[in-house]
Amino acid sequence: MWSELTKIIASLNIPADWIGIRAVKENNYNCYVRDALPQTNGKSSTIGVMLEVLVNGCLGYAATNSLDFTSLQAAAEKAYKQALTASEWWIYPFSAKQRPKVVGEYISPFLKPLDGLSPREINDILIRICKTLKVDDKIVQTTATTTTTEKETWFVSSNGSEVYQKILSLGTHYGATAQDGAIVQQRSNNGWQAHCYQGGMELLREEELWQRVQQIGEQAIELLTADECPSIRTNLVLAPDQMMLQIHESVGHPLEIDRILGDERNYAGGSFVNKSDFGNLVYGSELMNITFDPTVPGEFASYNFDDTGAVATREYLIKEGVLQRGVGSLESQARAGVPGVACARACSWNRPAIDRMANLNLEPGNASFDEIIADIEHGVYMESNRSWSIDDQRYKFQFGCEYAKLIENGKLTKTLRNPNYRATTPEFWHSLIKVGNSSNWQMYGTAYCGKGEPNQAISVGHGSPICLFANVEVFGGGG
């Protein structure tokens, strides 16, 4: 691929100030089993090229799934005309500074290749998961899925960039629905599609898999007779799988610089954060330390370079509660005049790269799980997201979880069903009073973060320890 792309970029006949070519090849395999019966075994492959050109301070884009020179020349001309026409009305003049020369590669760490198990072996595992989940006749539905992805990206530019990245990932999900009369409860492994990582087939045969599957089935039955979550202001302890959603919605999206600039308001909304807040806004308590870190091995959105070639580095977005930088690409940083990160990402070859969060992690503190619980006279512990709602400024939110425990006098006591909580983003993060340590820090991911017009669903990763928030409004109900 390298020799073809370098020849093409040298031969393209357009008078652009800069040209970039991003070629993407992606293979996906999805397997879905319901009630121990296979439903889907599907494979898909796609390959194509995005051309990006800089003309008179404006960027233009065009894509093609044909790799012959004639098609690529036509796409380059289309992108050039687009940029030239738009340059009469640009709102900020870009330069090659936003596309520096980079050379390097990234390959996901793995122990066993994605084709290390046959489709039959994968189906057998998922069927066994469904059968193990059905611990009682009141389990009325069981599901289990796997999705594997192998994605290769080649990026070259007219100023000498050469980047190759190969990402291997596996997402798994399983859960059970229990019913007793009018009462219906769902329990899944860490919430909907949260068990996503970079790596190979070793991720499917993780340690203690069957013990966890059994536990999920038992907890679904347990929820049928559990008390409703009380409506009260109290201490709230969130497990890492719920912190994933909390970080994503109330930190990741409001810090996207293109939203702050207004680019996303038509579709995904804006943000309560302003440009002047960077370096000044006290976003949360001093225990709040959020990093943008695509360098974590195995986390779902790890890489060495974003899709425009910017070098990925670990950076604090929020340090000791104070907002430091935004989730913004090199061009968004230039427009806004605020520091950002290497986050220009595209979901496929036929989409331009836009500002997207990658791995956003809450750094661990120094408290063990037992230490956090032991100091609570009254509170609620919640796991696994079930529902979410947040306004288009990412300010007011209401989230629901699958499973909860009442905390009384320093101990987890009875199980609670239909737990929910609500707050505003600043109020909530200022109420953070304890952060778990590295022993309870866990990372999760999802492939379905949506944004942009046309829409782009992209992978993100979030890691967090267990966290304690004081005086939070919790309540019961369907959520």
Cβ contacts of 350 within 8 Å, gap of 6 or more: 48, 50, 63, 65
DSSP bridge pairs for 316: 291
- Residue 190 structure tokens: 């860490």
Do residues 16 and 59 touch, judged by C-beta distance below 8 A?
A: no
Q: What is the mean pLDDT of residues 428-438?
A: 98
**Rounded CA gap, 57 and 97, in Å?**
11
Task: For the chain, give the number of residues.
Answer: 479
When comparing pLDDT for 91 and 328, which is higher? 328
> Within 10 Å of residue 89's Cβ, how many Cβ atoms?
7
**Calpha distance 220→405 (Å, rounded):** 14
pLDDT band at 30 (very low <50, low <70, confident <90, very high): very high
Q: At residue 292, what is the residue type?
A: F
For the stretch 170-185, pLDDT in tens is: 999 999 999 999 999 9
Q: Is it the case that residue 374 has pLDDT exceeding 60?
A: yes
Report d(CA 108, CA 105) in Å as an integer.
10
Cα distance between residue 238 and residue 379, in whole Å: 11
Does the structure show a pLDDT above 50 at 65?
A: yes
Q: pLDDT band for 479, please (50, 70, 90 cuts).
A: very low
Give the pLDDT band of residue 478 (cuts 50, 70, 90).
Answer: low
How many angstroms from the chain centroid is the CA of residue 459?
5
Average pLDDT of the chain?
A: 96
Give burial (CB, 10 Å; 0-12/13-18/19+) of 239.
buried
What is the SS3 assignment for 216? helix
Query: Which amino acid, 284?
Result: G
Tokens of 240: 């890492």
Would you state the pLDDT for residue 3? 82
Spell out the residues 6+ positions from residue 30 whose beta carbon is closer than 8 angstroms to its own.
40, 41, 42, 43, 145, 146, 147
Distance CA(436)–CA(438), nearest Å, equals: 7
* Predicted pLDDT at 70: 96
Write the DSSP string, 5-39.
HHHHHHH-----SEEEEEEEEEEEEEEEEETTEEE
Answer yes or no: are the C-beta atoms of 187 and 97 closer than 8 Å: no
Q: Once rounded to an integer, what is the mean pLDDT over residues 15-23?
A: 97
Q: Per-residue pLDDT for 5 more than 60?
A: yes
Q: What is the Cα–Cα distance from 460 to 347, expressed in whole angstroms?
A: 11
Q: What is the C-alpha to C-alpha distance for residues 258 and 270, in angstroms, rounded to an integer?
A: 9
Beta bridge partners of 23: 49, 154
pLDDT digit string (tens) for 375-387? 999 999 999 999 9
Percent of the chain with pLDDT over 70: 99
Q: What angle do CA 292, 294, 299 make, to 5 degrees?
A: 110
Residue 205 has pLDDT above 80, yes or no: no
The answer to whether 81 touches 55, Cβ cutoff 8 Å, is no
Taking the C-alpha atoms of residue 168 and residue 478, their distance in angstroms, rounded to an integer, is 37
Contact 424, 395 (CB under 8 A): yes
Per the DSSP assignment, residues forming a β-bridge with 375 are none
* Dihedrals phi, psi of 397, to nearest 5 degrees: -145, 160
- State mean pLDDT over 180-198: 94
Q: What backbone torsions phi and psi does residue 180 show, to the nearest 5 degrees? A: -140, 100
pLDDT tens digits, 127-141 = 999 999 999 999 999
Q: Are strands 232-238 and 378-390 parallel, antiparallel or unpaired?
A: parallel
pLDDT at 300: 98
* pLDDT 10s digits, 251-293: 999 999 999 999 988 888 999 999 999 999 999 999 999 999 9
Average the pLDDT over 226-237 and give the result: 98
Question: Distance (Å, rounded) from C-alpha 129 to C-alpha 27?
Answer: 25
Q: Indicate if the alpha-carbon torsion angle 404, 407, 411, 417 is positive or negative.
A: negative
Q: Give the per-residue pLDDT at 2.
A: 80
Give the CA dihedral 462, 341, 456, 295, nearest 10 degrees: -50
CA dihedral 348, 353, 356, 361 (to 10 degrees): 80
CA dist 18 and 159 (Å) reads: 7
| Residues 189-210, mean pLDDT to the nearest whole number | 89
Ranges of beta strands (E only) in 293-395 are 315-319, 322-323, 344-345, 354-355, 359-362, 378-390
